[in-house]
Amino acid sequence: MKKLMLPFVSFRLGNLLKILMQNFLNKTFTFLFITLMGCESIIDIFPPELEIIKPQTDEVIYDDIIIAGTATDNNTVTEIKIYTQTKLGDTWLEEKITDGNDIEVSFPVWSRSIDHILVKAFDDVNNFDHIKIKINQETLYDMDFEAMDSWNGWSWLGSVYWTDDDKFSGERSLVLYGLNGAGSGIVSVTKKTRAGHVAFAFRRTSGCYTIQPEVNFLIDGSVIWNLERSDIGIEVEGTSWEEKSFMVSEGTHTFSWTVKYACSNGNILFLDSIYLP
């Protein structure tokens, strides 16, 4: 048996030697080619290096986002792009720098849903480096119905008020109350938006205890989302706090929330924690 194995072992060793020799020749040829052609022909495979001084990770942001830093490269940094990214999955290009290595830009917070800054630097052969920085916002939502929140652009019809007895976040939420003879409770806001997601938290309940009221979310008068009137039950949607988000196009839009009367004791929609793009 040992004599039968020797040719096989010899064959394996022969192949291995051929492979090693071929690799050696390939590397030698590559070295000689680069030497003969000169350093100018070597392709740059190294990306620029980014250093971001501000903001720092988890830095608290107030009304403006300030970004400072530098990008360096063995050759030329041709472009630096700065993006904002939101908790809802939206990404927006905020600034593009094409005339240097220094980064010194600032822009206003356009949504309280922004939670990351992304910086990318490109060189002249399109290698790039990037840094993603997590930030915290001093104000958590675009509207949370807190005492210091601005009501600019908001309107309501019917019985609408705030409460501190039931909320999704913060100290207060908004209550839309559908009453007999008063029809629906409705609250609206008109705002110029980017293309992105609008989001909110809600909970519904009824003064009759045996049914849940119909609630609607509308964009520019069209119903985007609806919960129909339904009997009370463990699986009925909206009896505890839930979150919803919807895509909206760029432009000026009116967002509205309604609760319809269906009970002599009234129906209630709690609304809280709104993000607007």
Among positive and negative, which fits the CA dihedral 58, 60, 64, 70?
negative
Mean pLDDT of 197-218: 84
| pLDDT above 80: residue 141 | yes
| pLDDT above 80: residue 213 | no
Mean pLDDT of 188-210: 88
What confidence tier does 80 reach under pLDDT thresholds 50, 70, 90?
A: very high
| pLDDT above 80: residue 94 | yes
| pLDDT above 80: residue 144 | yes
pTM: 0.76
CA distance 240 to 231: 15
One-character DSSP codes across 33-56: HHHHH-GGGSPP-PPPEEEEEESP
Q: Which of 227, 241, 236 has the alpha carbon at shortest distance from 273?
A: 241
The pLDDT of residue 251: 96
Enumerate domains of the chain plus CATH numbers.
49-137 (2.60.40.10), 154-275 (2.60.120.260)
| pLDDT above 70: residue 77 | yes
Mean pLDDT of 31-38: 46
End-to-end CA distance of the chain: 78
CA distance 79 to 99: 8
The pLDDT of residue 154: 94
Mean residue pLDDT across the chain:
82
Mean pLDDT of 144-157: 90
Mean pLDDT of 204-212: 72
Mean pLDDT of 203-219: 80
225, 268 in Cβ contact below 8 A?
no
Mean pLDDT of 144-162: 89
What confidence tier does 75 reach under pLDDT thresholds 50, 70, 90?
A: confident
- Lowest-pLDDT range, 9-18, 80-89, 197-206, 221-230? 9-18
230, 236 in Cβ contact below 8 A?
yes
Q: Which of 191, 185, 192 has the alpha carbon at shortest distance from 162?
A: 185
In DSSP terms, 272 is beta-bridged to 201
Give percent of the chain above pLDDT 70: 74
CA separation (Å) from 142 to 173, 200, 277?
13, 10, 9
Q: Where are the alpha helices (DSSP H) in the chain?
A: 2-37
